[in-house]
């Protein structure tokens, strides 16, 4: 049944796309210098308001930590811009004796925004879209409408002062599934950037439009026997606890090589990791999973102490992360799924072969194509592990949270992480402005066709005889 609010959302989506389409035609004529001035103004505005917008996101959604949201906002603006500041996105972007590459914008981009990272994802998508001369219309999560719209307002005001057509950057205020689908399916929508729940990502792929989606990140991390246990645990907790685990690349399961088990346990305990008893792990399992076996949204982005209280578990002061030894992987073991909170599943395996098998099990339960991590002193072990992982990112000796998004690694800085064919995504890259341009190639003759023709004729004759 179509309700009035659905009709209102559909109407708003259509209006915003029509307006963005007209604005993008003007934006497409801008030179590189003007585009970069607009982007720099957006970056300055995002940095100025990073703390306020981060606090708004936590207040509205109940997810995460204000200081960490601020850091995400800073990363989405400053780090992304620093990487792509010099990228040419207008006119001829590459030239050689044999050919010339010419950039064209896609048009209107439909952006789906998650509740877990609403302000930082909005900043990121706005920046990469305008840098590549595309207009953007965002559909925020219904739990993050206010903070996402405020983020867009801040960016748009700064950008308009530098000449951006106001309708080139817009955000829906009426949010329903029907409205989001109307946005994605509109005739003037050129491409979709879908970051959010699996339902909306699937809707993006079935919209008939080109779509860059993401997938769930049930990330396993292997602590191999040569690893520095202290550094490994420090990095894992830094990633798992950052913004209370709301980044999809955060660590979900730790697989420890048996010789390091004791040292790893000691390091976790020394740094705020609390190991649960079998009974406590059972109580936690009943809290984090719904009757249908899905993640309970009430635990997403909440601190460890609050989740423990919800489960009736007493934890010491200073507990940062709940750690549960899990007997297997799958629906019978709820703690083996992606938890989006400071909770880790803990496995001990003797040797790389068994550890790899366990990591593959974890990935098969909701993380295919996304990310895996390894801590090791052996480069050969890291490469061998990576060869066996069906993921798009193998993060070595750093937090998977920060490594996968390109904060602590040389990967392209991004808040939209493709999962490749393993994750039913069209790309395995970290999405960037490069994915939002069509590249025309003017290819000059390198071999005279007259010289090639006799050979081609002979080949054709041979094929006819063989047939």
Residue among 188, 153, 201, 193 at smallest CA distance from 173: 153
Measured CA to CA, the distance from residue 105 to residue 29 in angstroms comes to 10
Element (H, E) at 102: strand 99-105
- Give the sheet arrangement for strand 108-112, strand by strand: 169-171, 135-139, 108-112, 189-194, 211-212
Number of other residues whose CB lies within 10 A of the CB of residue 356: 21
Helix, coil or strand: residue 191: strand
User: 351: left (phi > 0), else alpha (psi -120 to 50), else beta?
Assistant: left
Residues 39, 248, 321, 419: which is the catalytic one? 248
Residue 359 known to be catalytic: no
**Own/partner pairs, 342-345, CB within 8 angstroms, 24+ separation:** 342/240, 342/241, 342/244, 342/245, 342/303, 342/304, 342/307, 343/245, 343/284, 343/288, 343/299, 343/304, 343/307, 344/236, 344/240, 344/251, 344/252, 344/253, 344/254, 344/273, 345/252, 345/253, 345/254
Beta bridge partners of 220: 253
Pairing of strands 108-112, 189-194: parallel
Q: Is 19 left (phi over 0), alpha (psi -120 to 50) or beta?
A: alpha
* CA distances in angstroms from 356 to 233, 242, 353, 363, listed in the order given: 19, 26, 5, 11
Distance CA 195, CA 193 (A): 6
Q: Where does residue 18 rank: exposed (0-12), middle (13-18), buried (19+ CB within 10 A)?
A: middle
- Cα–Cα distance measured from residue 182 to residue 189, given in angstroms and rounded to the nearest whole number: 10
Assigned token pair, 249: 């690349």
The DSSP letter of residue 360 is: H
- Whole-Å CA distances, 321 to 106, 247, 278, 344: 43, 15, 16, 7
Of the candidates 178, 221, 229, 225, which has an alpha carbon nearest to the alpha carbon of residue 200?
A: 178
Supply the residues annotated as catalytic.
248
């Amino acid at each position: 049944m179509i309700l009035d609010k659905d009709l209102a959302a559909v109407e708003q989506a259509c209006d915003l796309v029509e307006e963005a389409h007209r604005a993008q035609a003007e934006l497409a004529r801008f030179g590189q210098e003007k585009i970069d001035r607009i982007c720099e103004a957006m970056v300055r505005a995002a940095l100025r308001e990073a703390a306020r917008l981060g606090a708004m996101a936590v207040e509205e959604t109940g997810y995460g930590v204000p200081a960490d949201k601020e850091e995400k906002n800073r990363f989405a603006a400053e780090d992304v811009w620093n990487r792509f500041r010099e990228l040419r996105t207008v006119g001829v972007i590459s030239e050689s004796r044999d050919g010339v590459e010419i950039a064209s914008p896609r048009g209107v981009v439909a952006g789906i925004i998650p509740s877990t990272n609403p302000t930082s994802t909005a900043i990121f998508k706005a920046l990469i879209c305008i840098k590549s001369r595309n207009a953007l219309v965002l559909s925020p999560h219904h739990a993050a409408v206010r903070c996402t719209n405020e983020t867009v307002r801040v960016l748009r005001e700064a950008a308009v002062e530098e000449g951006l057509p106001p309708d080139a950057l817009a955000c829906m205020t009426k949010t329903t599934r029907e409205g989001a689908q109307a946005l994605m399916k509109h005739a003037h929508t050129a491409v979709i950037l879908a970051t959010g729940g699996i339902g909306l990502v699937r809707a993006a792929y079935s919209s008939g439009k080109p779509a860059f989606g993401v997938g769930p990140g049930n990330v396993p991390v292997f602590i191999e026997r040569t690893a520095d246990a202290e550094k490994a645990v420090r990095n894992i907790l830094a990633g798992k606890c950052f913004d209370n685990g709301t980044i999809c690349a955060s660590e979900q399961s730790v697989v420890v090589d048996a010789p390091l088990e004791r040292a790893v346990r000691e390091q976790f305990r020394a740094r705020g990791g609390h190991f649960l008893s079998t009974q406590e792990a059972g109580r936690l399992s009943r809290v984090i999973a719904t009757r249908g076996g899905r993640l309970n949204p009430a635990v997403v982005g909440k601190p460890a102490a609050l989740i423990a209280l919800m489960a009736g578990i007493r934890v010491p002061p200073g507990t940062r992360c709940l750690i549960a030894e899990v007997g297997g992987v799958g629906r019978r073991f709820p703690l083996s799924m992606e938890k989006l909170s400071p909770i880790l599943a803990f496995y001990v395996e003797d040797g790389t072969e068994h550890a790899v098998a366990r990591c593959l099990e974890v990935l098969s339960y909701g993380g295919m194509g996304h990310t895996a991590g390894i801590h090791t002193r052996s480069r050969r072990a890291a490469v061998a592990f990576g060869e066996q992982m069906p993921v798009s990112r193998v993060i070595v000796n750093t937090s998977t949270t920060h490594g996968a998004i390109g904060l602590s690694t040389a990967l392209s800085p991004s808040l939209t992480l493709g999962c490749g064919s393993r994750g039913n995504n069209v790309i395995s890259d970290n999405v960037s402005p490069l994915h939002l341009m069509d590249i025309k190639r003017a290819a000059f003759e390198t071999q005279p066709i007259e010289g090639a023709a006799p050979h081609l004729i002979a080949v054709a004759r041979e094929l006819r005889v063989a047939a």
